[in-house]
Amino acid sequence: MPTEPTASDDKIRCDACPVMCYIKPGAAGACDRYANHDGRLVRVDPHIVLERTVSHGGRLVPFQATGDWDGKIVHEPSIFVTAIGAGTTYPDYKPAPFIVSSEIDGVDMVTVVTEGIFSYCGVKVKIDTDRYLGPETATVRAEGEAIGHVTTSEYGSQMLSLGGVHHLTGGSKKEGRVTCDALVDLSNCKPVELTIDGGATVVVQAGYPPIVNGIAEERMRVGCGSATIGMFAKQWHGKVDEVVVVDDHITGVLSEHQAGKLLDIADTGIKMKGRRSTPGRYFQVAEPGTGWGGTRISDPLSVLGPFDAKKARPGMTMLMVSTTGEHAAYYELDEALRPVEKQMPADLKLSVERIQENCEPALCTVLFMGGAGGSLRAGVTDNPVRLTRSVKEALTRVTSGGAPVYVWPGGGITFMVDVTRLPAGAFGYVPTPALVAPIEFTLRLSDYAALGGHMDHVRPLASLKDNETLQIHSQPLAPGQRA
């Protein structure tokens, strides 16, 4: 360990080893292991930290704010041969850069490795939030440029459709460049700030919660207040007289709700504020906010009026809970029919935990979608349509950077892949602008020959020695390659 560093101006002298580097604030020494953090010598050990991060599936973040650390990977390589960085021969029709055969399970398998240039591509973004992001078909912008639009929402999620050939090549040069940047960043799991015309600003990053107008979303609600009543009515039946699920959109009341009626739950004389929509469903019980169930209230009793003395009776029990289960309280009516908070019985606590358990963490997910058409297929076979047919017949497996893909039925090879399943930095671009994404076709050697494959370019993995061209290989010589 180093002894106390000697300060001189703003730099410090590291004496961890005889190199005795002078290190400026925010920089690391020659070893990349010791750094100057606000005038203090700190150990950073990027190798070990990085290795651990990678093995836990974490994201790689440069440890220096200046971003000039090369992010070298010190870990065992994956075994699968992927196309990332394989290069592409586009736009000519030469055989794909690497056609590698290796023996898998006694079957001579062929992996055609290529890096496709996709000008027909985009990303579909699913944002788990109930917050209003903007109207359907509204333009989505990055750096002020139109890069896509809001499309139809899905349950508990808002959907964006970004990129596509129109924004990549159909608009101004800047529009194409900004679209390409946003797609590459989103596909490489980096955060991108998007603004929606007439709506919100949202920071989207695959695998992370959305940040809507500066506030990070934590959980998806289990459903609206009314849906929550429907989901849990049976579990509450017999354990409590009344349940109110507080929700900014639709607050649910068990005794009045259809679900409660079906269970013959008796009236409780409860009186809700807000506007009644249908029995047991109330709009606008409170202003929206960050309190209970997306409202601004901190005391749930504020959404109730006095109980009806004709129906309510002392000792009646009531559970109030939010749509995420993050807030909950238990009450009993006193002699004056006023709710008094009491300790929640264990079985009700369990039902609240069940609500929490059923709320999934709010995430942004990004699917890359691209069409592998014309000449990319020609790099694989001299009869391109046979490759398409082979994919359709499931004889050829398509992967992207080793990750499974969904191949959309119909013409061409249009595939979708969850970008978080690809290794870091898997996507690139060319100045066209278009995205460069890895795509691999794996099939039996005999099937490859049958579909007109470039048999003379197939290289068995085992016989690379005398080959004078570059080969692709699953295993580097050793970790710690320096670029």
Partner 1 sequence: MKRAPQIAYLADGRRLHLQDGPIDLIVEARGGEANVRAAYDAAARRFDGLLDELCKELPLLRQAADPAHCPLQGNIARRMHQAVAPFAADCFITPMAAVAGAVAEEILGAMVKSARLDRAYVNNGGDIALHLATGEHFTVGLAERPDAPGLMRTMVIGSDDPTRGVATSGRHGRSFSLGIADAVTVLARTASQADAAATIIANAVDLPGHPAIVRCPAHDLQPDSDLGARLVTRDVGRLSGSEIEDALEAGADHARKLLAAGLIEGAVLRLQGEMIVVGTKGIGLQGSRAPLHGTAAESPLHV
Which residues from 166-185 bind partner 1, rule CB under 8 A? Answer: 169
Instruction: Give the separation between CA 358 and CA 41, rounded to whole angstroms.
Output: 46
- Which residues lie across from 242 on neighbouring strands? 318
Q: In 9-105, where does DSSP find H-type helix?
A: 46-55
Helix 346-357 vs helix 225-236: crossing angle, to nearest 10: 140
Site for partner 1 in 302-341 (CB under 8 A): none
Closer of 28 and 364 to partner 1 (Cβ): 28
Q: Which stretch of DSSP H or E encloses residue 398?
A: strand 397-400
Tell me the closest approach of the beta carbon of residue 389 to partner 1, in angstroms. 18
Q: Binding string, 370-409, against partner 1, x = CB under 8 A?
A: -xxxxxx-------------------------x-------
Which residue in 44, 90, 233, 390 binds partner 1 (CB under 8 A)?
90
Nearer to partner 1, 200 or 436 (CB): 436
Task: Give the residue, chosen from 25, 203, 432, 450, that forms a contact with partner 1 under the rule CB under 8 A.
Answer: 432
Distance of alpha carbon 198 from alpha carbon 206, whole angstroms? 24
Please, which residues have CB within 8 angstroms of residue 395's CB and are 6 or more apart in sequence? 443, 444, 447
Q: Is 239 in the site for partner 1 (CB under 8 A)?
A: no
How near is the Cβ of 163 to partner 1 at its closest, in Å?
14
For partner 1, the closer of residues 55 and 446 by Cβ is: 55
Q: What is the distance between the alpha carbons of residues 18 and 10, in angstroms, rounded to a whole number?
A: 21
User: Is 459 an interacting residue with respect to partner 1 (CB under 8 A)?
Assistant: no
Residues 26-55 that bind partner 1 (CB under 8 A): 27, 29-33, 47, 54
Helix (H, G, I), strand (E, B), or coil: what is residue 289? coil
Distance CA 199, CA 131 (A): 10
Site for partner 1 in 179-238 (CB under 8 A): none
- Decide: is 119 part of the binding site for partner 1 (CB under 8 A): yes
With contact defined as beta carbons under 8 Å apart, do 315 and 332 qualify? yes
Which residue's CB is nearer to partner 1, number 74 or number 450? 74
Beta bridge partners of 361: 219
Name which of 104 and 470 has its Cβ closer to partner 1.
470
The single residue among 6, 7, 19, 213 that binds partner 1, judged by CB under 8 A, is 19
Among 364, 403, 436, 451, binds partner 1 (CB under 8 A): 436
Contact present, 380 and 86 (Cβ < 8 Å): no
Task: Name the nearest CA neighbour of 319 among 392, 238, 375.
Answer: 238
Closer to partner 1 by Cβ: residue 16 or 395: 16
